[in-house]
Amino acid sequence: MIVGPGTPIVPDPARAMSIPERETLRRPPISATRRSEEKLTVDELCEELRISRSTFYDWRQKGRAPQCVKLPNGSLRIRRSDLENWLSDCEAAA
């Protein structure tokens, strides 16, 4: 595209979005069954629960965090279904 004098520059709306917002544009919609199999990163979990990483690791050390899957590279993932079950248990205990 050649831009010369007098050519209006139209901003790309995707550039104005944050990285997570842009990622959702690229991902196909998740079906209900696939959503239950979805695995969250620690950062995604912390963002969703609005807690810090240190709080998550504190809960994990005390056995109060949702069940995690440890990948061969050492990173953790949390199944969406395990998170939903854990939240239900927290509600029942409240």
Closest residue by Cα to residue 49 from 25, 31, 41: 41
Q: Is residue 59 part of a domain?
A: yes
Q: Is residue 54 part of a domain?
A: yes
pLDDT given for residue 82 in this prediction: 96
Task: Tokens 């069954």: give the residue.
Answer: 33
Q: Is residue 39 part of a domain?
A: yes
Q: How many structural domains does the chain have?
A: 1
Q: What's the average model confidence in pLDDT over 35-51?
A: 91
Q: Is residue 61 part of a domain?
A: yes
Q: Is residue 7 part of a domain?
A: no
pTM of the prediction? Answer: 0.61
| Portion of the chain with pLDDT greater than 90, in percent | 59
- In whole angstroms, give the CA distance from residue 83 to residue 68: 9
Q: Is residue 11 part of a domain?
A: no
Judge whether residue 68 has pLDDT over 90: yes
Pairwise pLDDT comparison (30 vs 91), residue with the higher score: 91
Q: What's the average model confidence in pLDDT over 33-61?
A: 91
Q: Is residue 3 part of a domain?
A: no
Domain range holding 62? Answer: 35-93
Q: Is residue 20 part of a domain?
A: no
